[in-house]
Structure 1
């Protein structure tokens, strides 16, 4: 079965806190699943601004707002909430905070509330500001679930963490998100007071449309994508085992170039496994290289040819529902397709 207009076309796509920090929660988990309801809390403070465009017409009024952790900021286009803030001395096995500093890990969720695909890149314009107006940029250290910018499908939730390395004694920390370029969002700037928490921590529910099943194909603009099946295992081969509490989910993927020009795809930028709550996983490249037939992304797909193979994603055991998502990075008409794996 084929469903069209789910995947865009492009010739080349690749790229290869309490007023002190001690007031932040030191541990915690975001246990949201697909059935969690969405609620919202009104902004605690807001200011509005308007202007005129080059023709003298009044532009859409945009607002700046300040909220607490757990409060939803939303309009008809987008909804967002900071779910929790934790502090960590290390991230993974190889990254410790510098002496006198700590990692502030901010778990966020964002939902596309509109009916169109949107290209949302404004997580890149985020900073943490302390009570002395010192600014901290996002850390290059990557958490287990980094929040990912990019194309959001209607009803899709993206969930994950942003990390900032800050002095242990820093006080009155706030997360500042600027949406200068995302003009369809009513809020030009959102500030979250990380040392304040709403009475009830709100959340966002994912509600995907047009989810495909194994064996179904999505085609658009000369590109066809299909998932032929999926398998689950804790051992890919004699030397590759999943870590404790995890398993490998391995979809069988085929990408066909029906156009006239060569096509290059990227597993990192275009292909993810997503949970019902919106957490995303990238392919485990090391594990995938040990597959008998891994998906080949090291060479172009010539006109009229296909690349078929498997990718290994390591996820928490028993996580469901799970989807495989293909994101076509089309600047004019962003598209994204979803296949239900289980």
Structure 2
């Protein structure tokens, strides 16, 4: 692997680490809150409503499952089965046991990681919810030992935080356990509030019928050229292009650099700071997120500058590079105007 790609992966992993911490803190702060806490972004230009879509797939009802070996109670689901609460649905697609996650994270001697491919969906048609894998997921073994999620550096990591109505987040979560731990089950708190606990159990040793959570965004979806406004911030996605890089700085095989051209305007009376690392990401229709790419930024002649805040009554324009699978469609640029508030997560469809 070349030097440029290593730097890119480090930056992407760092974003997921920081976002994970922020999502954990934000989930604590926002537990039990609803989207009524803040005013949603305004539709400065017309937003395409075609993705506010489709009827929900009927929920899967778990049939007979083996007992949860850590408690003796019946498990609610197996791998591939969807479990549902009032506002959140979740599925664990697969599980792997490995000594390393990504390029940088190794388990301690005598331990290994249990890596679960997970997706969670906000089922509500109008309210935002806060989902934190660090607060809401844990693993138990047959001896009733419980293991919390580990901080790992991986570009495939699950993004925690705010979920818009109909939004899906998908990625891996890792738990470090002794390598002889057996009878593992995933314990899920389907209620995002700290003041109630709606537990469900997924038997990680049993394969279920399988169902994919489908993202059906029930919020305005903007197009390129549109502008969205939130408090004193206006964001316009002017256009986007793709690139295969050059020289040492190229995407992984099968990937491409996706490069939106954006304008951020500060309409307030105080300086505005925007972090493309924490506030902007790409997202596909199955819920996977793609972070900014340091290697991809080397092909930019007009990179979006973050060296200083945006002055009052002024604007800043520039390009931002992400790395994603080639030809992915639909593909969205997602903006969290205020990372620690609900109701402001905004989607621009690039293709």
TM-score, normalised to structure 1, is 0.77
In structure 2, the residue corresponding to 1:253 is in which secondary structure? strand
The 2-side partners of 1:93 and 1:146 are apart by: 13
The 2-side partners of 1:84 and 1:251 are apart by: 33
Match of 1:144 among 139, 144, 155: 155
User: Could you give the per-residue CA deviations for residues 24-53 of structure 1, whole angstroms, max 9, x where no partner exists?
Assistant: xxxxxxxxxx99x845333569xxxxxxxx
Once the two structures are overlaid, the 10-residue window that deviates more, 82-91 or 286-295, is 286-295
State the number of aligned residues. Answer: 293
Unaligned 5+ residue runs, structure 1?
Answer: 9-33, 46-63
Is 1:169 aligned with 2:204? Answer: no
The 2-side partners of 1:40 and 1:226 are apart by: 37
Q: Tell me if structure 1 keeps the 8 A contact 2:134–2:148.
A: no
Is 1:254 aligned with 2:263? Answer: yes
Tell me which residue corresponds to 1:218: 228
Tell me which residue corresponds to 1:94: 104
The 2-side partners of 1:144 and 1:7 are apart by: 32
Bigger helix fraction: 2
Structure 1 residues 179, 41: CA separation in 2 closer, same or farther (over 3 Å shift)? closer
The 1-side partners of 2:173 and 2:103 are apart by: 18
Tell me which residue corresponds to 1:320: 329
Tell me which residue corresponds to 1:6: 41
In structure 2, the residue corresponding to 1:241 is in which secondary structure? coil
- What's the offset of the Cα at 1:76? 4.3
Q: Tell me if structure 2 keeps the 8 A contact 1:39–1:203.
A: no
User: Could you give the per-residue CA deviations for residues 126-183 of structure 1, whole angstroms, max 9, x where no partner exists?
Assistant: 3211111222222222333211112211111111110112222211111223356527
Q: Tell me if structure 2 keeps the 8 A contact 1:40–1:71.
A: no
Tell me which residue corresponds to 2:305: 296
User: Could you give the per-residue CA deviations for residues 235-254 of structure 1, whole angstroms, max 9, x where no partner exists?
Assistant: 1x444111222111111111
In structure 2, the residue corresponding to 1:142 is in which secondary structure? coil
Q: Structure 1: which 4+ aligned runs deviate by more than 6 Å?
A: none
Match of 2:83 among 56, 60, 73: 73
TM-score, normalised to structure 2, is 0.75
Bigger strand fraction: 1
The 1-side partners of 2:181 and 2:122 are apart by: 33
The 2-side partners of 1:39 and 1:203 are apart by: 12
The 2-side partners of 1:183 and 1:92 are apart by: 31
Is 1:340 aligned with 2:343? Answer: no
Structure 1 residues 78, 194: CA separation in 2 closer, same or farther (over 3 Å shift)? same
The 2-side partners of 1:330 and 1:7 are apart by: 17
Match of 2:166 among 127, 151, 155: 155
Structure 1 residues 138, 5: CA separation in 2 closer, same or farther (over 3 Å shift)? closer
User: Could you give the per-residue CA deviations for residues 191-234 of structure 1, whole angstroms, max 9, x where no partner exists?
Assistant: 22211221x11221111242111111111322100111111111
